[in-house]
Amino acid sequence: MYIYNVTINIDHSIRKEWLNWIETHIQDVLNTGKFTSAKLTQVLVDDVDGVTYSVQYTAASREDLDEYYNTHAEKLRNDALKKFADKMIAFRTELKVINEFYPIAVNN
């Protein structure tokens, strides 16, 4: 499993507009069929210049992630740039899930 993480710093002046827009954008990314889920989070840092968010998209395979890049990424990135180019900064990272851990239920 892979996580495609997009971290975005948004100018305070467009925060509400961007939050409304990103929900539709996330659904557009999911509708490519290359991701199984997405999570929107706020990065908890003090930043006077804006608010930072992270969107984490989960892909089942490397092939799905590569196909997203080759087929869909450019158009979806350009949609964001056209709308918010001078009011946002984004960077992307990839993570490969090695293992997941959950608490063990203990019977008392």
Q: Is the pLDDT of residue 108 over 70?
A: no
How far apart CA 26 and CA 41 sit, in angstroms, is: 12
DSSP 8-class letter at 32: T
Report the pLDDT value the prediction gives residue 44, as an integer from 0 to 100: 93
**pTM here?**
0.88
**pLDDT tens digits along 36-73:** 999 999 999 877 789 999 999 999 999 999 999 999 99
Tell me the residue length of the chain: 108
Full set of structural domains in the chain with CATH: 2-96 (3.30.70.100)
